[in-house]
Structure 1
Amino acid sequence: MYRVLHTVVPPVAKAVWRPEVRGLHHVPDSGPVILASNHRSFADSMVIPIVVPRKVVFLAKSDYFTGTGFSGWISRNWFEGLGMLPVDRDDQAAAMNSLQTALEVLGRGEAFGIYPEGTRSRDGRLYRGRTGVAHLAMTSGAPVVPVGLVGTEELQPIGSRFPKLAKVSVSFGEPIRVGGEYEGVPSGRARRDLTDRIMTAIGELSGQEPAGVYNDRAPDA
């Protein structure tokens, strides 16, 4: 299903929306890589796989995979075809297990997409990153490619079921690799510092104002 969708959807989407893409050469053609992006719209998890030639795995809420009837079948196959994996965001244990799922994806040499903010920005600011992205990078050794999305909040505004015509740009920054700079540094401090570096790089690509605080998930998210 992924091969079918990725053969059909990206060419059509690019022809209709004509996204502006910068720095795509920073994404390696093979091997494990973490794509760490700002989060402005539900459409973000489709925009990135559309512009990246290789498969990018994202986590998606489990509700999309558990529907019944024909519509449930369509939803399940659509999200599976896009390379997404289900996660129950309301179950703390499942949320922790999602990090292990991400490490398994990276261990297979695949690309994993993550939003360090945790949920969509509803006011356009860039929120403080949660340190799971640093945990993945330090544990797997995979490079982190920062991604800056602009315009996806107009492509599919919060509350909209279908995408609209909008100008979208996707910028990929230079990979951030973890070397020996954190040797001897307490793990919590190291993860916080690396996460802040990643968020700074994302902010430079997206041009967003930093919020300086964490973003709490809205009840209707």
Structure 2
Amino acid sequence: MFYWFMKYVVIGPIVKAIFRPWIVGRSNVPASGAAILASNHLSVSDSIFLPLMIDRPMSFLAKSDYFTGKGLKGWATRMFMKATGQIPIDRTGGKASEDSLNTGLQVLGRGDLLGIYPEGTRSPDGKLYRGRTGLARMALEARVPVVPVVMVDTGEIMPIGRSIPRIGRVGMVIGEPLDFSRFHGMESDRFVLRSVTDEIMVALQRLGEQQYADVYASTVKDRAAPAQTAAKTGSKAA
């Protein structure tokens, strides 16, 4: 009830009036039953616009940091995340990854829609990066279709490092569901998981025509971190 109220009465009308989001391929989202919506990831706002523009409730697996902030800003962020269907997860790896998988399977087990970013993190430069195989494992274990989604211009209104969005128009393109039933029962085969993941990333690249880089986005961020730190230090020293 809280989700419905916030989406259709409070947040939804305000966000739609300000940003005028557009959508292509809405009918490709299954009208019923569980499915995974696999999206490129340009901005934290991706998790806001997509749920608001489809006709069914959906949940995103979001990093737990968004739910643990202090003060008024932390409270507002937490309420906003809950209102848009976010589910907190620990993304530190190891057991946390297994817990995230189980959380996603619970959502799909209820017959609901689950949103996942196969790149694992936001793109640092607008390119589409190599997908993580956790998405494939979840899709095969739950035996659900994967719907490719491309977010458009969300990185322009709210790029990494910006906490307040610029005013601008954003959109999303939803492709036809991908059926991986031919691989059911093979979710423990790492070669199958990589093949399924790569097929999803190819579908995303064709749908959005983003430049593709066959490396993990997190690797690119890690490589850039020392240079960014040095630049900030030099700027302060100057």
Per the TM superposition, whether the score is higher than 0.5 is: yes
Deviations 1:29-49 (A, max 9, x none): 221010000011111111111
Report if the CA contact (8 A) 2:61-2:88 is conserved.
yes
Please tell me whether the aligned partners of residues 182 and 190 of structure 1 are also in contact (alpha carbons under 8 angstroms): no
Which one-letter code corresponds to 2:90 in the other structure?
D
Which contiguous aligned blocks of 4+ residues in structure 1 show a shift greater than 4 angstroms?
181-186
Q: State whether structure 2 residue 128 is matched by structure 1 residue 123.
A: no
2:4 counterpart letter in structure 1:
R
Hey, what does 1:11 align to over in structure 2? Answer: 13
The 2-side partners of 1:137 and 1:189 are apart by: 15
- Tell me the secondary structure at the aligned position of residue 211 of structure 2: coil
Say whether the 8 Å CA contact 2:23–2:173 is kept in structure 1. Answer: yes
In structure 1, the gaps of 5 or more residues are none
> Paired residue for 2:31?
29
Aligned to 1:54: 56
Question: Aligned residues: percent identity?
Answer: 45
1:143 partner letter: P
Q: Which residue of 1 aligns with 2:214?
A: 212
Q: Once the 2 structures are TM-superposed, how far is the Cα of residue 90 of structure 1 from its aligned partner?
A: 2.6
Measure the CA separation in 2 of the matches of 1:109 and 1:140. 10
How many residues are treated as equivalent by the alignment? 220
Partners of 2:152 and 2:171 within 8 A in 1: yes
> What amino acid is aligned across from residue 17 of structure 1 in structure 2?
F
Gaps of 5+ in 2: 226-238
Question: Deviations for 1:152-205, whole angstroms, at most 9, x for unmatched residues?
Answer: 111201111111122322000000012225777971111111111111111112
1:138 equivalenced with 2:153 (yes/no): no
Give the superposed CA RMSD: 2.0
User: Match of 2:181?
Assistant: 179
In terms of Rg, which structure is larger?
2
The 3 A distance-change label for structure 1 pair 182 and 139 is closer
Question: Which residue, out of 106, 109, 116, partners 1:107?
Answer: 109
- Aligned pairs for 1:20-99 (under 5 A) are 20-90=22-92, 92-99=94-101
Aligned partner of residue 58 in structure 1, secondary structure: strand
What is the deviation of 1:95? 2.4
Distance (Å, rounded) in 2 between the aligned partners of 1:75 and 1:165:
19
Corresponding residue for residue 2 of structure 1: 3
